[in-house]
Structure 1
Amino acid sequence: MAAFGTEFTQEMVISQYEDGQWSDLALVPVEPFSLHPATHVLHYASECFEGLKAYRADSGDIHLFRPDRHVNRMLNSAEQLLLPIPDETTLARALHMAVAAVTDEIPVNPGALYLRPTLFGTEEDIGAAARPSQKATFYVLTSPVGDYFAGGLKPLRVKVDDKAQRSTPDFGEVKTGGNYAAAMRQIVRAREELGADQVLFSPGGIVQETGAANFILIEGGELITKPLDGSVLPGVTRDCILALAADAGLKVSERDFTVAELLERAPHGEAALTGTAAVLTPVGELLHDGNCVKVGDGAMGPWSTRLREQLCAIQTGAAEDKYGWRVPLNT
């Protein structure tokens, strides 16, 4: 199978906003958009998106994983960006419609169908720098994906940056391309200079998250992660891991913690990144101010292994879903 996110189905769901109303959801072929050079999104980054998965269980049944949380997060992103957006019911229907159209292309476990709902401003006006777009496009693109770690799950090397910011203090909760673009330079530089896989943004010495995933630390029976204060993305996978950790007996602490505390506790514990694509990925080394701190023994720890396996089993339908996270495909 092609690299994650580079293979697409032949159909997508789309709706257009103009003159104060949305058009009916339509199933159309996946093909390039035609945009005027003055289109709002090209100049003022008026866009947001989501990423979630649909799975084919061993029984053959198809389900979406926590689509309600992704819909709610997209509604929040659109509100923060002042973008028009279809209502909650329509967004949910669009996701089911997109999956139902390509059921034959959904891979079996460990593969899945990745969904990318996207919203962007389409008004043709380069003078609208301080005014939201009055036109918009919403669509749901789908991509059959295999195991994100087809070559084997390997602990990451992560640079801890206590100066750079991933986003502005109250805009980190918005899933918009601008936040990813702002983090990219730091990530590429860390890769080139240190061989790092990611950057853990910790402005002012307070640990936040990496450029593309939430961050957790597990040590001494406690799981610690940055609280949802607007500066970090309210990750759906993060929420799942916190619930599973609490049920497994870990003390879950959503609180601010410093780089100093992280580096002190990491050698005796575990650290990981959480996100839709990679689920839970272990961190083996932390790089800070010319020093390399090994996390635990450098390998994936027992808690990380347990939590990842539990979540994957629920996602794929191999384990009981007492949380109600799996939503059967509504055709």
Structure 2
Amino acid sequence: MTTPGLTFDLKPSAQPLTPAEREAALADPGFGRYFTDHMVTIRWTEGRGWHDAQLEPYAPLQMDPATMALHYGQEIFEGLKAYRQPDGSVATFRPETNAERFQRSAKRLGMPELPTELFVEAIDVLVAQDRDWVPAGGEQSLYLRPFMIATEVGLGINRPANEYLFMVIASPAGAYFPRGVKPVSVWLSQEYVRAAPGGTGEAKCAGNYAASFLAQAEAVRQGCDQVVWLDAVERRWIEEMGGMNLYFVQGTGADARIVTPALTGTLLPGVTRDSLLRIAADLGYATGETRISTDDWRAGCADGTISEVFACGTAAVITPVGSVKSAEGDWTVADGESGEITMRLRQTLVGIQTGRIEDRHGWLHHIG
């Protein structure tokens, strides 16, 4: 159920940060450390649909201890960015695609689906109000976090909640790699799995991330930066790296083929993943979506048929993978450094997002 003609009630903060305070935060924003002056909220109630759309000052939430999200895990989220363009304007990158994935996540967790236009408008309202928080220069951006939680109060209820709160908050983000893009080492997790067939793997829900922390801690104990997930059934098919999708470059130069694990229902369909498939094709590379095993990875690095490996996601854009560790042995990807094709794809995507390269696909959504 939706509510036609929903209008946002704008309640700007009476005490926003001063320009000097904001500039101090923007000078070294890090990632997820500072938040803008405002947030957007929209409520959903069974029988009424979406209502009470508001822009209001950023503030803590007050929740009953029996709020269902705290007990039964109905919580989903998205991540996207707003970028300052060369003419000073601001644009978000593919917000409609994030809206569609948010709907799929909601459906999987038995939550109401927020219409695409309302999702995009909520982001537009917040970015327009807090546009001075969008950094300029380099790879800086304003990270946007739309999310939804179940707010019905009660325990022992074996059904989806009948009340929800959708919100958008924003945080200025500096370059994810302030010292430059460096290859990471990865640990192949054979003890834990991220998702199983029929589960919530393709939904962007909080529980998937909580369940990953133990395996990530194991990767760190093994001296690695990140964990790589394998399939739940055979424990041999490559799925994701941490919360990012993986790519493999087969061959070199103009004849290289760029492939990524196929979406099987247990992988998150990343927006960056999809964008890179199209960008790679635009640059003249062959692309593919297929199943890749740990044996394929090891053998490909040994005989040189796999020349580069990288992970991709909204936060870091592209992260090269330089080495692999597992209980069955270790190996290096090529010379262990960032590959030429990896960096070309990264520079092209960032160039499109920041308005320095032509947006051939209409991905940028301009906000005022």
Q: TM-score, normalised by structure 2?
A: 0.87
Q: How far apart, CA to CA, are the structure 1 residues paired with 2:301 and 2:80?
A: 30
Bigger Rg, which one? 2
Q: How far apart, CA to CA, are the structure 2 residues paired with 1:161 and 1:292?
A: 13
Secondary structure, in 3 states, of the residue corresponding to 1:23? strand
Question: Where do 1:68-79 residues align within 5 Å?
Answer: 68-79=96-107
Given candidates 222, 226, 230, the residue that maps to 2:257 is 222
For residue 45 of structure 1, what is the aligned residue in structure 2?
73
Q: How far apart, CA to CA, are the structure 1 residues paired with 2:63 and 2:52?
A: 21
Q: How far apart, CA to CA, are the structure 2 residues paired with 1:86 and 1:71?
A: 8
Contact 2:29 2:172 in 1 (8 A): no
For residue 141 of structure 2, what is the aligned residue in structure 1?
112
For residue 254 of structure 1, what is the aligned residue in structure 2?
289
Which AA in structure 2 matches 1:64? T
Which AA in structure 1 matches 2:120? A
For residue 303 of structure 1, what is the aligned residue in structure 2?
341
Contact 1:219 1:266 in 2 (8 A): no
Contact 1:85 1:119 in 2 (8 A): no
Pairing 1:172–2:207 present? no
Secondary structure, in 3 states, of the residue corresponding to 1:320? coil
Secondary structure, in 3 states, of the residue corresponding to 1:274? strand
For residue 269 of structure 2, what is the aligned residue in structure 1?
234
Question: Where do 1:181-196 residues align within 5 Å?
Answer: 181-191=210-220, 193-196=221-224
Which AA in structure 2 matches 1:43? H
1:169 CA drift (Å): 2.1
Per-residue deviation, residues 246-295 of structure 1 (Å, max 9, x unmatched): 22232212011111001111353100010000001100001122522111
Secondary structure, in 3 states, of the residue corresponding to 1:208? strand
Secondary structure, in 3 states, of the residue corresponding to 1:33? coil
Secondary structure, in 3 states, of the residue corresponding to 1:243? helix
- Provide runs of 4+ in structure 1 moved above 4 Å: none
1:296 CA drift (Å): 1.1
Which AA in structure 2 matches 1:126? L
Given candidates 296, 313, 316, the residue that maps to 2:351 is 313
For residue 20 of structure 2, what is the aligned residue in structure 1?
none
Secondary structure, in 3 states, of the residue corresponding to 1:25? strand
Given candidates 112, 116, 123, the residue that maps to 1:88 is 116
Question: Where do 1:197-212 residues align within 5 Å?
Answer: 197-203=225-231, 204=234, 205-212=236-243
Q: Which runs of 5+ in 1 are unaligned?
A: none
Q: How far apart, CA to CA, are the structure 2 residues paired with 1:289 and 1:134?
A: 46
Q: How far apart, CA to CA, are the structure 2 residues paired with 1:323 and 1:6?
A: 32
Q: How far apart, CA to CA, are the structure 2 residues paired with 1:311 and 1:97?
A: 25
Question: Where do 1:16-165 residues align within 5 Å?
Answer: 16-20=43-47, 21-109=49-137, 110-128=139-157, 130-165=158-193
For residue 16 of structure 2, what is the aligned residue in structure 1?
none
Q: How far apart, CA to CA, are the structure 1 residues paired with 2:286 and 2:171?
A: 37
Contact 1:163 1:202 in 2 (8 A): no
Q: TM-score, normalised by structure 1?
A: 0.96
Q: How far apart, CA to CA, are the structure 2 residues paired with 1:100 and 1:229?
A: 38
Q: How far apart, CA to CA, are the structure 1 residues paired with 2:219 and 2:360?
A: 41
1:19 CA drift (Å): 4.2
Q: How far apart, CA to CA, are the structure 1 residues paired with 2:182 and 2:319?
A: 8
For residue 11 of structure 2, what is the aligned residue in structure 1?
none
Secondary structure, in 3 states, of the residue corresponding to 2:347? helix
Secondary structure, in 3 states, of the residue corresponding to 1:292? strand
Q: How far apart, CA to CA, are the structure 2 residues paired with 1:235 and 1:113?
A: 19
Question: Where do 1:279-298 residues align within 5 Å?
Answer: 279-289=317-327, 291-298=329-336
Contact 1:162 1:206 in 2 (8 A): no
Name which of structure 1's ranges 57-66 and 167-176 shifts more when overlaid on structure 2: 167-176
For residue 313 of structure 2, what is the aligned residue in structure 1?
275
Q: How far apart, CA to CA, are the structure 1 residues paired with 2:113 and 2:61?
A: 19
Q: How far apart, CA to CA, are the structure 2 residues paired with 1:260 and 1:160?
A: 12
Q: How far apart, CA to CA, are the structure 2 residues paired with 1:122 and 1:266?
A: 49
Per-residue deviation, residues 270-327 of structure 1 (Å, max 9, x unmatched): 0001000000110000112252211111000011010000001001001101011111
Which AA in structure 2 matches 1:218? V
Q: Which runs of 5+ in 2 are unaligned?
A: 1-27
Secondary structure, in 3 states, of the residue corresponding to 2:212? helix
